[in-house]
Structure 1
Amino acid sequence: MVSGLEEIQLATIVLVIVAGFAAGWVDAVVGGGGLIQLPALLMVPGITPVQALATNKMGSIFGTTTSAVTYFRRARPDLKTAVPMAVIALAGSFGGAILASSLPASVFRPVILVALIAVAIFTAFRPTIGTLTKLRYTGHRHYGTAGAIGLVIGFYDGLLGPGTGSFLIIAMVTLLGYSFLGASAKAKIVNMATNLGALAFFVPNGSLLWGLGLLLGGANMAGGYLGSRMAITRGSTFIRVVFLVVVAVLIVKLGHDVWVESIR
């Protein structure tokens, strides 16, 4: 088990920092940075899966906070939707983190894989979706749907994590009617809350590697700042393309995991 940075080789630390920067950029644009960051952490000799999960959340919260602030300053997302959604997602993430300690991830992977394939097909064959904001609901129905999205995806983030930002974006685009840019801006606020909810469980348990987590957080902040500025500058079309690439990688990764589990 790893207890501090002094036990980790310099080359491994550099790899984790580079992965953190790349993950911050991807997370800022469409989510899914955990696909890069978590595997890099699991390559650290002696690290336990719980330490990797907790340290991943520590790094991610720096990146998502930076992205959220950048989006807020430049894109002015609707906080009346984003903030309540974030609070509900935080509670869901805390619950998911509790369950993660007792329930194997393999139970959920096949269901998530099918959902991702459906999302990819839907997005690819609907080129106009997410180009403009056309809200499907108003009033209580809008906020109720947003809260349900926050609860379900927040729970998923605490339980498993990879692709949370992508799920948030596609849910807000398809179920609420936001553009990809508008959904990305709100997703960062919600994702920041889900990371905080998971950390609220992991930190008291002593699972977090603080030194590595802070280094990862710094790299995530730099990547998140650059990614959010590029997303705002290039708009929904750019975000849609990156979204499809990230979802494709998620499908391959989860498909491989399901296949490996099935042959054991």
Structure 2
Amino acid sequence: MEIDILFFLCLASFAAGFVDAIVGGGGLIQTPVALILMPNVPVANIIGSLKIPAFSGTSFAAFQYLKMVKMNWKLLGVMAVVAFASAFAGSTLLTYVSNDFMKPLLLVVLTLLAVYTFMKKNFGQHQEKLLPFKTQLLYALIISITVGFYDGFIGPGTGSFFVVAFVSVLGFDFMHASANAKMVNLATNFGSICLFVLKGKILWAMALPMAVCNALGGFFGAKLAISKGNGFIRGFFLVVVIGTLIRFGYDVFWK
């Protein structure tokens, strides 16, 4: 691989790790860059390879959150197992069918999400619900299956969807939602990685240098999020959701 292409891929990977650590959505940065810089490489190889840096950056970000945020390990354990299986299934389906038919629906969902978050000023600013564990578990299973499958099948914005699910359904504030989202997102990334490794789709010469840069971005992004708090994360969340909206809008109307 040419050094100049690898340099820009690594730069994009650092930025993706930084953004993803705060509120998810790093795939919106590194995925388009990789597709543009490597037009002759099969898409499945690019998507599969990008799961490696995504996993690396999320790991470093999760470690930073673990030092500062209390986790519900019983709930997270169940979510991780279910999300892993669901992402594996989504990636398996992706190897057989196109995911383009989902994008118009996602465009509507993201528009509503952006409007709701902007209008509801206290959204995710503090913990609002103390749900019974059985209710939490039911909601967590639905979130893990739905978002996990989405990550394996489509991908961009997964972290953001996990965050909004933790805030709106489980009642977490943005700080706790981001921390818990990182842990479950690790499981979805790992599920997809297992599938793509079995299929021989990983380009290791590209994936490993990008993984180092994504990890550095994740480290600094998580530290910034922890120091700035819920208000900063909410603002960043809005920016990422709007960015995701623009990306899918381009895919639906202009691509």
Shift of 1:138: 1.4
From 205, 208, 214, the counterpart of 2:202: 208
Count, aligned residues: 254
Q: Residues 1-264 of structure 1: matches in 2 within 5 Å?
A: 8-42=1-35, 43-135=37-129, 137-260=131-254
Q: TM-score, normalised by structure 1?
A: 0.94
SS in 1 for 2:77: helix
Give the unaligned 5+ runs of structure 2: none
Between 1:174-183 and 1:73-82, the stretch displaced more is 73-82
Between 1:242-251 and 1:72-81, the stretch displaced more is 72-81
- Cα distance between partner residues in 2 of 1:54 and 1:213: 9
Shift of 1:85: 1.1
Between 1:168-177 and 1:129-138, the stretch displaced more is 129-138
- Cα distance between partner residues in 2 of 1:137 and 1:255: 36
Q: TM-score, normalised by structure 2?
A: 0.97
SS in 2 for 1:128: coil
Q: Is the 8 A contact 1:172 1:178 kept in 2?
A: yes
- Cα distance between partner residues in 2 of 1:106 and 1:45: 18
Aligned AA for 1:125? M
Q: Is the 8 A contact 1:27 1:224 kept in 2?
A: yes
Shift of 1:44: 2.1
Aligned AA for 2:29? I
Shift of 1:136: 5.2
Shift of 1:248: 0.5
- Cα distance between partner residues in 2 of 1:12 and 1:150: 35
- CA RMSD for the aligned pairs? 1.1
Task: State the match for 1:3 in structure 2.
Answer: none
- Cα distance between partner residues in 1 of 2:207 and 2:140: 31
- Cα distance between partner residues in 2 of 1:169 and 1:45: 32
Q: Is the 8 A contact 1:136 1:175 kept in 2?
A: no
- Cα distance between partner residues in 2 of 1:182 and 1:82: 12
Shift of 1:134: 1.9
Q: Is the 8 A contact 1:93 1:197 kept in 2?
A: yes
Aligned AA for 1:110? P
